[in-house]
Amino acid sequence: MATETEALQHSGRFRLKAIKGRAFEAILIVATLVGLVALVMLFGFMFFDAVSPGSASAEWYLLFFGTLVGPVSAFTLYGRRHPAVRSANARASAAVFGGLALSLSTFVVLKAMSPYGPLVYLITVGSLPLAVAAYGRYTGSSYFVGPAMVLATLLAIVWTLGSEVLLVPLLDATFELGNQLLGGVPVLGSVPVPVDRGLLVFAIAVGLPTLAVANSVLRRQLSLDRLLVVVAVLLLSAAGTSGLDQLLRPYLEPLPLWAAYGGVVGPPVIGLLGLVVTRRRGLRSGLVAAAAAVGGALAVAVGALTISVNPRLLVVLALGMGVPTAYVVGETVTTDPDGRVGVAGPFIIVGGILLGAYIEQSLSVAGPDTWVTPTLLVESWDGLFPTEAGAYPSTVGSIMIVGLMALMAFPVGVGAAIYLEEYAPDSGWRGRLASVIELNIANLAGVPSVVYGLLGLALFQNFLDYGPGLVFSASATLGFLILPIVIVSAQEALKAVPDSLREASYGMGASRWQTVRSVVLPEAVPGILTGTILALGRAIGETAPLIVIAVATATSSAPDGLFSTGAALPLRLFAASANFDPAYRTGVVAALAIVLLVLMLTMNAIAIIIRNKYQE
């Protein structure tokens, strides 16, 4: 053995080579470590300053090890050996923590905006497509329902916002552009717009949808019910042009506040629950489940009222967190005997934290002297007392901006990806167009974010004449920014769907859209979701474009609507980092940075978990 190695390494040249190889490998390892060390330093320094773990007493560590770390690790180890338990745990955790995060986000946004506005949106945007579906069922033909519902939803959004917000600025901008372009022509440039602007807006906003519906409904057959539909569209668009929001709001305002909160959160949650249960168990169970959810929320409200606690947060939590948790726990306990234990997972975590906090309070154990406190998220900024400083308005602003951005960018991005992957041919002018679009998307992904800020500035402030730094402009600007990311990741997800499924569907006589909707999209959802979450994580931390479109860096009140001045967490971090008082500089600001980092890491982790779960 020894002689053999010697024989192979006998010459000095070989030994030199081996040393060279080893040195090279060491250099490579160091290079890899540089990135990792940088990451650890980044987290480590901020974490130590924000949390100062050294200031906690040994008892505190023991206490939380006993109530939280110990039980959770034991449970995780147990779950590692029982896959059913692990997956039940994952489902329950998703319901509890996802529900909690969504409920709290919704609550703070509703609180900032007052829930009546969103309630109007929900009613109009929800009822219009439903009316189309009902009409489809009444006439007995379902062919037009899909497209009509899409159009009705879009119209409802425009109508609810009212013409003041979207149509008038757009029209003004177009006129101005026309004047500028025609300005060089002496005659045309001086021609005034023939009619009153308001009248023109009204004519366009009412006329277009009415004519479109009349054209498609009355062209082939004239009957009373078809005429009625046209009249209904006419009336609705007339009402919508003046803004359904203002029309409906007075009727909703007598509702107690908590009912309005429940009215916004309830219908989507309960509708989804009813649909899911109906799918699995039949219509009767679905109705029972929905009724139980309504009853539960009402019971919570009544209970809170009788002990004179304001029930609005409780109602939102009951609907947003309670309902999904109850569904997942109930479903798992009844149908999955192997994984039944797993639903305890999230409760062990929550219970551990609560128990630990209670003992900490009652025995007055010295915890860490941390800057990451509830104050940071529920209070407004305070420039004099660092312990009172919080970023509540910025947090609400971030939630609003990123939420609205997701609503706008997600459908468009997925739609573009579907077109490029499923519809666009490889050849012909359409194929060339598609490859131009793909190249363009690749280039858009490389455009610096600050340039998107200039686009938002020019589009919303200069062209549409909006005020500086509105929530809506910020959302749209960030939406442009993440659109390429959403499209590319959705394309990857669609590419991963095997062609055999598409062939099977086409072979069954499904059309392209039917194939996309019922076979390709459901398969691609996890992949699309992964990419979307990563894009949201990117958008939350994005700062430069918001500065350029003049979103206020330091605000003391949360935005109260989509068209009011925005605020964002990273902007607060930016503004506060200039403060030289160490309590802010390496205290509150470090805590804000840690919050942002943890937020981003959580989103990345969720995305990775989803990807791993569905890649098998």
Partner 1 sequence: MSQEDETELSSLKRSEFVLRKERLYRQLLAGCALLTIAITAGIILALSGQALVFFESVSPIDFLTGQDWSPLSNEPSFGILPLVSGTLIVVVGSAVVALPVGLGAAIYLSEYANPRVRAIVKPVLEILAGIPTVVYGYFALVYLTPILRDGFSLPVLPEFIANALPLVSEFTLVVPGLFPEVNTFNALSASIVVGVMIIPMVSSISEDALSAVPDSLREAAYGLGSTKFDVSTKVVVPAATSGIVSSYVLALSRAIGETMIVVMAAGESPKIPTVPNIFDNFTASIETMTVAMVNIAQAESLGESVTYESMFAIGLTLFALTLTMNYIAELISRRYREEY
Partner 2 sequence: MSEPEPETQTESTDEQNESASLIDTHVTADSETGRPRVHGESVVEARNLDVHYGEEQALSDVHLDIYEREVTAIIGPSGCGKSTFLRCINRMNDLVESAKIDGQLRFRGTGMYSDEIDPVALRRQIGMVFQHPNPFPKSIYDNVAYGLRVQNETVTDDIVEEALRRAALWDEVKDQLHTSALDLSGGQQQRLCIARAVAVDPDVLLMDEPASALDPIATSKIENLIEDLSQEYTVVIVTHNMQQAARISDRTAVFLTGGELVEVDDTATIFENPDDQRVEDYITGKFG
Among 518, 556, 612, 615, binds partner 2 (CB under 8 A): 518
Is residue 30 close enough to count as binding partner 1 by CB under 8 A?
Answer: yes
Which residues does 150 contact at the CB level (< 8 Å), separation at least 6?
Answer: none
Give one DSSP letter per residue of 461-481, joined into a string.
IIIS-PPTTBHHHHHHHHHHH
Among 52, 370, 514, 602, binds partner 2 (CB under 8 A): 514
- Torsion sign across C-alpha atoms 435, 436, 440, 441: negative
| Cα distance between residue 297 and residue 441, in whole Å | 46
Is residue 193 close enough to count as binding partner 2 by CB under 8 A?
Answer: no
| Cα distance between residue 349 and residue 330, in whole Å | 19
Distances (CA, A) of 36 to 29, 41, 43, 603: 11, 9, 11, 20
Read off the DSSP letter of residue 565: B
**Burial class of residue 503 in the structure, from the number of CB atoms within 10 Å of its CB (0-12 exposed, 13-18 middle, 19+ buried):** exposed
CB of 516 to partner 2, least distance (A): 12
Using CB under 8 A, which residues numbered 378 to 437 contact partner 2?
A: 425-427
Mark the segment that binds partner 2 (CB under 8 A) among 206-214, 261-269, 376-384, 504-512: 504-512
Which entry of partner 2, partner 1, none binds 16, CB below 5 to 8 A by partner kind? none
Is residue 50 close enough to count as binding partner 1 by CB under 8 A?
Answer: no
Question: How many C-beta atoms surround the C-beta of residue 464 within 10 A?
Answer: 16
Q: Which amino acid is at 366?
A: A
Is residue 218 close enough to count as binding partner 1 by CB under 8 A?
Answer: no
Which entry of partner 1, partner 2, none binds 500, CB below 5 to 8 A by partner kind? partner 2
Among 211, 423, 435, 518, binds partner 1 (CB under 8 A): 423
Reduced to 3 states (helix: H, G, I; strand: E, B; else coil), residue 282 is coil
Q: Measured from the CB atom, is 377 or 483 closer to partner 1?
A: 483
Interhelix angle 83-93/70-81, nearest 10 degrees: 130
Is residue 519 close enough to count as binding partner 2 by CB under 8 A?
Answer: yes
> CB of 580 within 8 A of CB of 589?
no
CB of 196 to partner 1, least distance (A): 28
Among 452, 474, 493, 494, binds partner 1 (CB under 8 A): 452
| Cα distance between residue 301 and residue 292, in whole Å | 14
| Cα distance between residue 267 and residue 271, in whole Å | 6
CB of 386 to partner 1, least distance (A): 15
Question: How many C-beta atoms surround the C-beta of residue 533 within 10 A?
Answer: 21
Q: Measured from the CB atom, is 502 or 572 closer to partner 2?
A: 502
Read off the DSSP letter of residue 162: -
CB of 497 to partner 2, least distance (A): 10
Among 76, 190, 443, 518, binds partner 1 (CB under 8 A): 443
CB of 418 to partner 2, least distance (A): 16
CA-nearest of 347, 410, 559 to 473 is 559
The residues pairing with 565 across neighbouring beta strands, listed in sequence order, are 470
Q: Measured from the CB atom, is 278 or 514 closer to partner 1?
A: 514
- Residue with the two structure tokens 């119209």: 155
CB of 127 to partner 2, least distance (A): 25
**Burial class of residue 272 in the structure, from the number of CB atoms within 10 Å of its CB (0-12 exposed, 13-18 middle, 19+ buried):** middle
CB of 281 to partner 2, least distance (A): 10
Among 15, 21, 285, 465, binds partner 1 (CB under 8 A): 21
Is residue 164 close enough to count as binding partner 2 by CB under 8 A?
Answer: no
Is residue 504 close enough to count as binding partner 2 by CB under 8 A?
Answer: yes
Using CB under 8 A, which residues numbered 136 to 165 contact partner 1?
A: 143-144, 146-147, 150
Mark the segment that binds partner 1 (CB under 8 A) among 296-304, 324-332, 449-457, 557-565: 449-457
Q: Measured from the CB atom, is 235 or 433 closer to partner 1?
A: 433
**Which residues in this chain contact partner 2 in the complex, by CB under 8 A?**
142-143, 280, 425-427, 498, 500-511, 514, 518-519, 522-523
